[in-house]
């Protein structure tokens, strides 16, 4: 199962939408999704404050807003090497 982080902050409607999308896609892409509130992490806040929400896979930013389903699917499919069980793909 691939580990994916969603960097968020409070009162962020785009973050809520991205989290819901990831919850829907997690089973299909075999994702373990963790939401990270960057407001409590100084280095992440300085780096991503104006870019939230950010989808992060293996510690690398994968997608910035707008986080649309088609873009997210394409990014995940490319990075997870679909069909390769060692990468957690489907």
| pLDDT at residue 88 tops 80 | no
C-alpha–C-alpha distance, residues 78 and 70, integer Å:
12
CATH number of 2-87: 3.40.30.10
Tell the burial category of 73 from Cβ atoms under 10 Å away from its Cβ (0-12, 13-18, 19+). Answer: middle
Q: What is the pLDDT of residue 82?
A: 56
Average pLDDT, the chain: 90
Domain ranges in the chain?
2-87
pLDDT in tens, 34-78: 999 999 999 999 999 999 999 999 889 999 999 999 999 999 999
Give 46 or 87, the one with higher predicted confidence. Answer: 46
| pLDDT at residue 23 tops 70 | yes
> Which of 33, 57, 41 lies closest to 9, judged by CA?
41
Cβ neighbours of 87 (radius 10 Å): 13
The whole-number average pLDDT for the span 2-10 is: 95
């Amino acid at each position: 199962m691939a580990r994916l982080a969603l960097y968020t902050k409070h009162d962020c409607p785009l973050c809520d939408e991205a989290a819901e999308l990831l919850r829907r896609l997690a089973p299909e892409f075999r994702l373990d999704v963790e939401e990270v509130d960057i407001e409590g992490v100084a280095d992440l806040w300085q780096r991503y404050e104006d870019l939230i929400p950010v989808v992060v896979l293996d510690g690398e930013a994968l997608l910035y807003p707008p986080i649309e389903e088609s873009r997210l699917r394409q990014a995940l499919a490319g990075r997870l090497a679909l069909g390769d069980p060692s990468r957690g793909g489907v």
